A and B are shown apart, each in its own frame.
Chain A
Amino acid sequence: MNRLVLNPAVVLAALFAAIPLAPAFAHTGSGVSLGLESGFLHPLTGPDHLVAMVAVGLWGAQLGNPAIWVLPITFPLVMAVGGLLGVLGMPLPFVEPIIAVSGIALGTMVAFSVRPPLWVAATLVGVFAIFHGYAHGRELPEAADAIAFAVGFVIATGLLHLTGILIGVLVGYEAGAKVVRACGAAIGCVGVYFLLGAVGVIG
């Protein structure tokens, strides 16, 4: 197996990913920086979103080739479809509960290291991607700068996938594979907490 090796190039790539933030923040107070900031923080400030996105990366890493590269490339596009529904103001039912369920489902897949055929995994992740995108898309018309908000939240989402994939690199080691599965279990628990919150069982 051609394992992903952490070398200086990976670190550089991570730095490269962070660069777009620098010039925008220099223009303090303009619509672009506000939009970028709120967009970037949107996926990070909702722990239910956050863990589900990390779970996508973890699961991708567990499934290995070709899922590990199919998921990061197709996910943003499917999410854009959901975002489009949100932007257009189409009603979509049970958005918050389904986002919480996505954490439970993806966490469970990672915890039990489930290996369905690629199309099953892609469909499952795709359905959840639509709901996640929808939640972001609803915010888009209110953003200070729509394109900056969109750039912000796709970068944040992509970095969360990357985080999951980088943690997922541990599956190459016996103990590491257990750590990854434990992460999946923890993500499932966070999902349960938010599902209970979304249906009003806990405040």
Chain B
Amino acid sequence: MMRGPRLLATAAALACAVAFVPDTAHAHLVDTRLGDFYSGALHPLTDLQQVLPWIALAVLAAFQGAQRARWIILVFPLALAIGGIASLAVPLPSFGPLLGLVLVAVTGLAVAAAARLPLGVLLAIAVVMGLLHGAQNGAAMVATTDRLLFLSGMTAVGYGVITLATGSAIAFLHGAPWRPIALRAGGSWVAAVGIMVLGLHLVRPVAG
């Protein structure tokens, strides 16, 4: 029986995910010295519009196999950082919120279909999402914000979430046949959210 180690690996990955959560909440209290690092780290997490497609992207990568999934762990945080830096020079594009919702729907649909994508397409989604979210978070900085700390925090949390989620998803996919189905159902929920909120956005655009 090889179930034991596998189960342990899953449990460890989930424990990491759980341990990650209280950490971010306590960070509210740290306002001195490294404060802006935590503002940057928290900013993407306070809005489901960013975390949701991050996790969908991670699961989508997991469906491509560990060999290919590794690439987004490198590419996504880099794109996030570049997007953040770009926000210092370039104003946010007006189609930002629309593109963000399209990304939610697209990644969700791809997970629901358990699509096997060419590596280039997967990385293109990761790059577009990273650049957009990096720029959106970066635009939240005010004049007094320490830019280096804020952008480092944002990139670090992007790296952390995408790595943990990809690792957990890859570990979770091994085993009983219901597991890929559970992840695909999750993707379908994400797509449903994306489609409905996209509809709402088209009727009643929200600024930001």
Min CB gap B186→A, angstroms: 8
B192 at the interface (CB under 8 A from A): yes
Beyond A9-B7, A87-B203, 7 additional contacts (C-beta under 8 Å) are: A16-B17, A69-B184, A72-B181, A87-B199, A89-B203, A141-B200, A147-B197
- B192 touches which one: A12, A36, A150 (CB < 8 A)? A150
If A16-B14, A32-B47 touch, whether A77 touches B191 (CB-CB below 8 Å) is: yes
Instruction: Assess the A154–B192 pair: CB atoms within 8 A.
Output: yes
- B200 touches which one: A2, A19, A75, A146 (CB < 8 A)? A146
Q: Give me the interface of A with B, judged by CB distance under 8 Å.
A: 2, 4, 8-9, 12-13, 15-16, 19, 22-24, 26-27, 30, 32, 36, 69, 72-77, 79-81, 83-84, 87-89, 133, 137, 140-141, 145-148, 150-151, 154-155, 158
B88 at the interface (CB under 8 A from A): no
B46 at the interface (CB under 8 A from A): yes
- Give the distance in Å from the alpha carbon of A33 to the alpha carbon of B46 in the complex: 9
Which chain A residues lie closer than 8 Å to B22 at the CB level?
22
B24 at the interface (CB under 8 A from A): yes
B115 at the interface (CB under 8 A from A): no
Q: Which among B49, B177, B193, B203 has the greatest number of chain A C-beta atoms within 10 A?
A: B193
B140 at the interface (CB under 8 A from A): no
Instruction: Assess the A76–B14 pair: CB atoms within 8 A.
Output: no
- Give the distance in Å from the alpha carbon of A36 to the alpha carbon of B46 in the complex: 12
Instruction: Assess the A84–B199 pair: CB atoms within 8 A.
Output: yes
Instruction: Assess the A77–B199 pair: CB atoms within 8 A.
Output: no
Instruction: Assess the B199–A147 pair: CB atoms within 8 A.
Output: no
Which chain B residues lie closer than 8 Å to A80 at the CB level?
191-193, 195-196
Min CB gap B68→A, angstroms: 23
Q: Give me the interface of B with A, judged by CB distance under 8 Å.
A: 7, 10-11, 14, 17-18, 21-22, 24-25, 45-49, 52, 104, 109, 112, 172, 175-178, 181-182, 184-186, 188-189, 191-193, 195-197, 199-200, 203-204, 206
Min CB gap B22→A, angstroms: 8
Instruction: Assess the B177–A2 pair: CB atoms within 8 A.
Output: yes
- Give the distance in Å from the alpha carbon of A74 to the alpha carbon of B206 in the complex: 29
List 29 interface pairs A-B (beta carbons < 8 Å), by A numbering.
A2-B177, A8-B7, A13-B182, A19-B17, A19-B21, A23-B21, A26-B21, A30-B46, A32-B46, A32-B48, A36-B48, A69-B181, A72-B185, A73-B184, A76-B192, A77-B109, A77-B112, A77-B191, A77-B192, A80-B191, A83-B196, A84-B196, A87-B199, A141-B200, A146-B197, A147-B193, A150-B192, A154-B193, A158-B185
- Give the distance in Å from the alpha carbon of A10 to the alpha carbon of B73 in the complex: 27
Which chain A residues lie closer than 8 Å to B48 at the CB level?
24, 32, 36, 145, 147-148, 151
Which chain A residues lie closer than 8 Å to B203 at the CB level?
87-89, 141
